[in-house]
């Protein structure tokens, strides 16, 4: 689950992905959900990061008994949807959530249901800071989330939150997408090298 900053104090952000076998290898990528330009760019970056992640780590994932096709993304077309299409959405902070959604599909492994995340992701997989940490933490709490992945550069924002917002939430500060992966897919924790 992703987290979004809203004027109402933050909300859960769900990302849905669907893969369609693409015999023509056209690699079509459809994005829906009334996304702004910045968020549309984030979807493209997320696809590239997910493809790179699968290619770079596939042998380690296979060694951990999770079967993966490192060419999964190249052999499929995708549809990524952010529900609640009547609500406009924009900003880069769903980048790590989009990568996680695509990898969940490729690995046929669900993300842990008690985990929420936020963070912009770069082409190299670095997780960049985002705004609205207070509001996003409130949204996580309302959704019953117990584990939160935040950009490492947002640690100060977390530290400044009142304890009643932080109590009961295990936070992980992430420098790169591998850090997010380790938390989101805890069963494959030791499959990814440092």
Among this protein's residues, is 11 annotated catalytic? Answer: no
β-strand partners of 19: 78
Provide the strand spans (E) within 39-98: 76-81
- Residue recorded with tokens 């985002």: 130
- Residue recorded with tokens 């790179």: 52
Among this protein's residues, is 93 annotated catalytic? Answer: yes
CA–CA dist 63, 1 (Å, integer): 27
Residue 78 contacts residue 50 (beta carbons within 8 Å): no
Q: One of 11, 58, 93, 101 is an active-site residue; which one?
A: 93
Classify burial at 63, counting beta carbons within 10 Å of its beta carbon; exposed 0-12, middle 13-18, buried 19 or more: exposed
Q: One of 42, 58, 89, 136 is an active-site residue; which one?
A: 136
Residue 161 contacts residue 129 (beta carbons within 8 Å): no
Phi, psi angle pair for 50, to nearest 5°: -65, -45
The SS3 assignment for 141 reads: helix
Helix (H) or strand (E) holding 19: strand 16-21
Give the active site residues: 93, 136
């Amino acid at each position: 689950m992703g987290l979004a900053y809203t004027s109402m104090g933050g909300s859960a952000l769900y990302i849905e992905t669907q893969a369609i076998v693409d015999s023509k290898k056209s690699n079509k990528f459809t994005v829906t959900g009334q996304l702004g330009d910045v968020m549309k760019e984030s979807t493209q970056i997320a696809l590239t990061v997910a493809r790179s992640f699968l290619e770079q780590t596939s042998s380690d994932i296979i060694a951990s008994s999770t079967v993966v096709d490192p060419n999964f993304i190249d052999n499929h077309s995708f549809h990524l949807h952010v529900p609640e299409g009547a609500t406009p959405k924009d900003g880069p902070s769903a980048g790590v959530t989009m990568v996680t959604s695509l990898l969940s599909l490729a690995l046929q492994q669900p993300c842990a249901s008690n985990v929420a995340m936020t963070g912009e992701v770069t082409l190299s997989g670095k997780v960049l800071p985002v705004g609205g940490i207070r509001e996003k933490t409130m949204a996580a709490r309302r959704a019953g989330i117990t584990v939160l992945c935040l950009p490492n550069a947002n640690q100060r924002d977390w530290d400044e939150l009142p304890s009643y917002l932080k109590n009961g939430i295990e936070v992980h500060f992430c420098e790169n997408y591998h850090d997010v992966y380790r938390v989101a897919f805890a069963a494959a924790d030791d499959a990814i090298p440092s």
